[in-house]
Amino acid sequence: MPEPRIPAAQVRRFLATAFEHLGMPAGDAQVVSQLMTEAELQGSDGHGVIRLVPYARRIRAGGINLKPDIRVVKEKAAMALIDGDNGMGHLVMKQAAELAIAKARQCGIAWVGSRLSNHAGPASLYARMALAQDMVGMYFAVGNANHLPPWGGLDMLLSTNPIAVAVPAGEEPPVVLDMATTVAAYGKVKAKAQRGEQMPVGWMIDRQGQPLTDPKRAEEGFLMPIGGYKGYGLAMIVGLLAGTLNGAAMGSEVVDFNHDDVTTTNTGQAILVIDPDAFGELDAFKARVDKLVRELRASERMPGVERIWMPGEQSHAKRIANERDGLALPAALRTQLDTFARDLGIPPLQDT
């Protein structure tokens, strides 16, 4: 029997009820639930519903401020720095994105950074917020656990600090890049271990700098940054712009939120919004993006390659299918959510 598909609206309702029962104001619970459901819809399942339980654990431990005073602490015409007051990252970054969009409309471009924020879900969520206004969005964040040493080093002082960029197109889906600065995500390593498979050379190295291909030995090594020292440089730069610039945590200051539910993470993020309308005729720009997309897609292909994908095109297709058919949550996650709902005293997630 195939897994039941659950309408996104049910998932959103369930999450909102859960957060309200955890003490979050109703309006904030709506915002967080909506963004977590968005993540699930676009296929970012590692940043979607699966996060409810760890978020709840952190909220109960007092590691999240449920009544934050999220406010602008520094501001100029085209920039702002937001103090998140240790609130949920979704609330902080939604506010940051909206402010950046408003400022970009005035100034052509704007940058809003955050400190004292928290994990906010997949990077592309916030870059994509600019798309509804026909603008370009770029998002940078300091990850909430350090998995990378500096190049040649052994101390894990850097996170897989992600970059997301969203560019509106005309008739084509928007181009949306959402990438960590490592070759493989840690979740992929765990999946290989579960299936008893070896990892390809290039995913991880051991403490001698040699390729590590046995996922069961993952604890003995490190994820590889993309392009070797280049990815190390990118991870550092993203951290400088999203963390250090804002007075947020970076390097050894980063709190591992997998192993610590209490300490304020002081997460730093940044969003950059560019208004293409300032550069010329908007429709002409979108037509040029369409032209490029079609040209790349029409490239002659390598043997065995069925289709050339644009960044974000597969997520776009998933979003459309999931909105139409509903979300398919893994059975183990459903069981976890049922237990969670019972403990919290709320109705379980409904299939229809």
Interface with a second copy (CB under 8 A), residue total 85
Of the candidates 183, 189, 242, 329, which one interacts with a second copy according to CB under 8 A? 183
The letter for the amino acid at 189 is V
Of the candidates 1, 77, 262, 332, which one interacts with a second copy according to CB under 8 A? 77
Please, what's the b/e burial string for 220-247 (b: 16 or more CB within 10 A of its CB; e: otherwise)? ebbbbbbeeeebbebbbebbbbbbbbbb
CA distance 256 to 265: 8
Residue 244 found at the interface with a second copy (CB under 8 A): yes
Of the candidates 26, 67, 106, 323, which one interacts with a second copy according to CB under 8 A? 106
Q: Which stretch binds a second copy (CB under 8 A): 27-35, 89-97, 190-198, 220-228?
A: 220-228
CB atoms under 10 Å from CB of 65, counted, come to 17
Minimum distance of a second copy from residue 295's CB (angstroms): 5
- The pair of structure tokens assigned to 242 is 């999203």
Q: Are strands 136-141 and 109-117 parallel, antiparallel or unpaired?
A: unpaired
Q: Enumerate the β-bridge partners of residue 327.
A: 6
CB atoms under 10 Å from CB of 182, counted, come to 27
CB 312, CB 174: distance < 8 Å: yes
Restricting to residues 107-166, which ones interact with a second copy according to CB under 8 A?
A: 107-111, 113, 136, 149-155, 157-158, 165
Q: Which stretch binds a second copy (CB under 8 A): 2-10, 62-70, 276-284, 322-330?
A: 276-284
Residue among 135, 140, 126, 138 nearest 102 (CA)? 135
Restricting to residues 195-214, which ones interact with a second copy according to CB under 8 A?
A: 201-202, 207-209
Minimum distance of a second copy from residue 277's CB (angstroms): 10
- The pair of structure tokens assigned to 285 is 């720009």
CB 10, CB 349: distance < 8 Å: yes
CA distance 163 to 46: 16
Residue 302 found at the interface with a second copy (CB under 8 A): yes
CA distance 266 to 272: 20
Of the candidates 53, 102, 145, 177, which one interacts with a second copy according to CB under 8 A? 177
Q: Which stretch binds a second copy (CB under 8 A): 40-48, 104-112, 257-265, 316-324?
A: 104-112
Restricting to residues 12-31, which ones interact with a second copy according to CB under 8 A?
A: none
Minimum distance of a second copy from residue 163's CB (angstroms): 8
Q: Which is nearer to a second copy, 63 or 162 (CB)?
A: 162
Residue 311 found at the interface with a second copy (CB under 8 A): yes
Minimum distance of a second copy from residue 318's CB (angstroms): 16
Q: Which is nearer to a second copy, 69 or 295 (CB)?
A: 295
Residue 274 found at the interface with a second copy (CB under 8 A): yes
Residue 187 found at the interface with a second copy (CB under 8 A): no
Of the candidates 194, 295, 332, 352, which one interacts with a second copy according to CB under 8 A? 295
Minimum distance of a second copy from residue 209's CB (angstroms): 5
Give the three-class secondary structure for 34. helix
- The pair of structure tokens assigned to 116 is 């004292």
Q: Please give the span between the terminal C-alpha atoms of the chain, in angstroms, as a whole number.
A: 17
